[in-house]
C-alpha cells in the first residue's frame, strides 16, 4: 500500500489494483454525518420541539402516538425530500460544471429552474392542474429547456463559455415568459404560482418522496459510474478521446441524467437557487481532489439544503421563510464572489 498526497493504492490478492483517496473518503463520511445530524435537527424543529434523543427513539419505534404522527406523517417526508433534492441538485451541478469545464455551468445559471417554472406555470394558469400535474409540467419544462440549450450550444462539441452564454440567454427569455404567464393568471392562480416559485419544503409529504426517491435511485448510481469519464472530460475532448472515453456518449448520457434529476427535484420542491452552483465547488475544496467529485457534491447538496431549511425555521420561525429565499440570498453573494474571482484570475 503506497500513499501519494492522500491517495492510497491497494492491491488485492487477485492482483486487482484500486486507488483510494483517503481525504475524499473522510470528507464523504463527514458530510454524511452532517447530513444525518441536520436531518435529525430539522425533524426536531417546529411548533412541537423534540430533542435528538426523542427523534431517534420515535424513528426506531419508541415514541408515543403523538410523536409518531408528528415525525412519520409531518416531518420525516419533508426531511427526506430535502435530502433527496439536495443530493440531486448537488450532483447535477457537478455534472454541468464538469461538462462545461466552467464553474458557472450550473442549472441555476443556465435557465433550467426557469424552464421548470414555465412548465409548472403553464399547468397552473391554463389547466388549473393539481399537484401531480404541476410536477409533471415542471419536469417537462426542465427537460425541454435542457435539450434546447444543449442543441443551441453544440458546435463540434460543447465549449464551456458558449454553453454558459446560451444558458444565460435562455434563462432571460424564460424568465420573461414566467412574468407573462403571471400576468395571465387570476389572483388565486398567481398566488399559487408565486408560492411554488419561491421553492420550499413546507407541506411536503410521502407523495413527493416516492417519485423523487425512484428517480434518484435510478440516476444517481448511473452518474456515479460516469465519474471517471467525466474527470477525463474536464481535460478536454482531445485528451479524453486519447484516453479511450466516448466523449459524445458520456456527455449526452450524463447531461440527460442531470437534467432529469434537476427537473424532478424542482418538481418536488419548486426552484431552489444556487445549491447546484455551490455544492460541487464546496465539495471540491473540502476533498482537494481533481475531477467532478460527484459523491461529495451530492452529499454537500443534501447538507446545504437541509441545513438551510433548519436555519430558516430557527431564524424566522416555522414556515415563515421558504428555504429557496434563504439559499437565493446566500447563493447570490457566493455567485458575486465567484464572478469576481473568475475575473481576477483572467478567465472572464
Instruction: Taking the CA atoms of 81, 83, 86 and 90 in sequence, report the sign of the dihedral they define.
Output: negative
Best CA proximity match to 224, nearest among 299, 173, 161, 155: 299
**301 is a domain residue:** yes
Q: What tens-digit pLDDT sequence spans the chain (348 residues)?
A: 444 455 555 554 544 445 667 888 898 999 999 999 999 999 988 788 888 899 998 888 887 888 889 888 889 999 999 999 999 999 999 998 888 877 777 887 788 888 888 998 899 888 887 878 888 898 899 889 888 888 887 776 666 667 778 888 888 899 899 888 888 888 888 888 888 888 888 888 888 899 999 999 999 999 999 888 888 877 766 777 776 777 778 888 888 899 899 989 998 888 888 898 889 988 888 888 877 889 999 999 999 999 998 888 877 765 567 887 788 777 777 777 776 776 666 555
Q: The domain containing residue 261 runs over which residues?
A: 27-344
**233 is a domain residue:** yes
- Concatenated DSSP letters of 280-306: HHHHHHHH--SS--HHHHHHHHHHHHH
pLDDT (0 to 100) of residue 160: 62
Helices (H), the chain: 22-43, 52-59, 65-68, 76-100, 107-110, 112-127, 131-153, 160-184, 187-198, 206-225, 227-233, 237-242, 247-269, 275-287, 294-316, 323-344
Question: What CATH number did the domain enclosing 256 receive?
Answer: 1.10.3470.10
**Entry pTM:** 0.86
pLDDT digits (tens, 9 = 90+) for 113-141: 888 889 988 998 888 878 788 888 988 99
**5 is a domain residue:** no
Best CA proximity match to 117, nearest among 133, 140, 131, 138: 138
pLDDT digits (tens, 9 = 90+) for 46-55: 788 888 899 9
**43 is a domain residue:** yes
**297 is a domain residue:** yes
**18 is a domain residue:** no
Report the relative pairing of strands 2-4 and 7-11 from DSSP bridges.
antiparallel
Give the Å distances, CA to CA, from 76 to 34, 51, 196, 220, 265.
17, 15, 21, 21, 17
**15 is a domain residue:** no
**204 is a domain residue:** yes
Instruction: Report the distance separating Cα 237 and Cα 214, nearest Å.
Output: 33
Provide the number of structural domains found in the chain: 1
Amino acid at each position: 500500500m503506497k500513499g501519494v498526497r492522500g491517495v492510497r493504492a491497494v492491491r488485492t490478492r487477485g492482483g486487482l489494483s484500486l486507488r483510494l483517496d483517503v481525504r475524499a473518503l473522510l470528507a464523504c463520511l463527514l458530510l454524511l454525518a452532517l447530513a444525518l445530524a441536520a436531518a435529525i435537527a430539522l425533524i426536531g424543529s417546529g411548533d412541537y420541539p423534540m430533542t435528538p434523543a426523542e427523534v431517534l427513539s420515535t424513528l426506531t419505534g419508541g415514541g408515543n402516538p403523538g410523536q409518531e404522527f408528528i415525525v412519520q406523517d409531518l416531518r420525516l417526508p419533508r426531511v427526506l425530500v430535502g435530502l433527496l433534492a439536495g443530493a440531486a441538485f448537488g450532483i447535477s451541478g457537478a455534472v454541468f460544471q464538469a461538462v462545461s469545464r466552467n464553474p458557472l455551468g450550473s442549472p441555476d445559471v443556465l435557465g433550467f429552474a426557469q424552464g421548470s417554472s414555465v412548465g409548472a406555470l403553464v399547468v397552473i394558469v391554463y389547466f388549473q392542474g393539481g399537484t401531480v400535474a404541476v410536477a409533471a409540467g415542471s419536469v417537462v419544462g426542465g427537460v425541454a429547456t435542457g435539450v434546447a440549450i444543449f442543441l443551441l450550444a453544440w458546435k463540434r462539441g460543447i465549449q464551456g463559455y458558449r454553453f454558459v452564454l446560451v444558458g444565460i440567454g435562455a434563462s432571460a427569455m424564460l424568465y420573461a415568459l414566467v412574468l407573462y404567464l403571471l400576468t395571465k393568471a387570476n389572483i388565486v392562480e398567481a398566488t399559487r404560482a408565486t408560492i411554488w416559485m419561491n421553492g420550499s419544503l413546507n407541506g411536503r409529504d410521502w407523495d413527493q418522496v416516492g417519485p423523487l426517491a425512484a428517480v434518484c435511485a435510478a440516476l444517481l448510481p448511473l452518474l456515479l459510474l460516469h465519474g471517471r469519464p467525466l474527470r477525463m472530460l474536464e481535460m478536454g475532448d482531445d485528451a479524453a478521446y486519447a484516453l479511450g472515453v466516448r466523449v459524445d456518449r458520456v456527455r449526452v448520457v450524463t447531461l440527460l441524467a442531470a437534467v432529469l434529476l434537476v427537473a424532478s427535484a424542482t418538481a418536488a420542491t419548486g426552484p431552489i437557487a444556487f445549491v447546484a452552483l455551490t455544492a460541487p465547488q464546496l465539495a471540491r475544496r473540502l476533498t482537494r481532489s481533481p475531477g467532478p467529485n460527484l459523491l461529495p457534491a451530492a452529499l454537500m447538496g443534501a447538507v446545504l439544503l437541509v441545513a438551510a431549511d433548519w436555519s430558516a425555521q430557527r431564524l424566522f420561525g416555522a414556515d415563515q421563510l421558504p428555504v429557496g429565499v434563504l439559499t437565493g440570498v446566500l447563493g447570490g453573494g457566493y455567485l458575486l464572489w465567484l464572478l469576481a474571482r473568475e475575473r481576477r484570475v483572467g478567465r472572464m
